[in-house]
Amino acid sequence: MNFWRIGGDKKLKHFKNHTFSATTGKPDKNGSPLFAASHGGQAIVKQGNKISFYWRAMAETYLMDDVPASTKLAYVYIVIGKRRYYQMVADTSLRSFKLMNLNNEYTVDIPNKYQPEDEVKVDMEKSKITVNDLGANSDYITGSEFFSIPPGASQRLDIVYSNFTTSPPKVEIKWKERIL
């Protein structure tokens, strides 16, 4: 997977190259596959003259020195192709594409941060938040705490959602019981 951008000088610039195994679900040498038949995702975020490419739940941020912070994102290209000397991947697809403007100067209609099909996971043990398998610890609310349930004690967990929601969100809670 290659990360590229076209800057103010209209020239294509290569930022980074990451290898990954586009598998049928079998683990690759780096652990579980990033993209498989049932999952996968990639996020690109531009804020001012910084652009971040999210890779395996971590952001790699680059400062675009030749681009003013006020420059707007004009195009997003997605290329699925074959490279010389490499076998073409026969089963490729783009199932969803979201582009959001997060830098509005005034409120018109604020979209919900999470869409109906988004999957939000909070791993309390690892203090990690993911949204659609992409790292999202920036969604952590200051003052919150990742917690564990003490042995023998019960805890109350309140799930709060917007009052304008027409149907409650589907929530699934999993935990591991440990015998001391």
Span 121-171, pLDDT tens digits: 988 888 999 999 888 888 888 778 888 777 776 777 778 877 777 778 888
Same domain, 121 and 174: yes
Average pLDDT value for the chain: 72
Give the pLDDT score at 24.
46
**CA–CA dist 150, 168 (Å, integer):** 28
Provide, rounded to the nearest whole percent, the portion of the chain with pLDDT above 90.
2
Same domain, 97 and 132: no
Same domain, 9 and 73: yes
Q: Which residue has the higher pLDDT, 139 or 12?
A: 139
The arithmetic mean of pLDDT across residues 4-16, rounded, is 70
Give the pLDDT score at 179.
65
| 142 part of a folded domain | yes
Same domain, 132 and 159: yes
Q: Give the global pTM.
A: 0.41
**CA–CA dist 133, 119 (Å, integer):** 8
Same domain, 50 and 125: no
How many domains does the chain fold into? Answer: 2
81: left (phi over 0), alpha (psi -120 to 50) or beta: beta
The arithmetic mean of pLDDT across residues 55-72, rounded, is 73
Angle at 51 between CA 136 and CA 104, to 5 degrees: 75
Phi, psi of 137 (to 5 degrees): -65, -15
**CA–CA dist 78, 17 (Å, integer):** 15
Same domain, 76 and 41: yes
Give the pLDDT score at 67.
73
Same domain, 126 and 95: no
| 108 part of a folded domain | no
Give the pLDDT score at 180.
62
Domain coverage including residue 156: 117-180
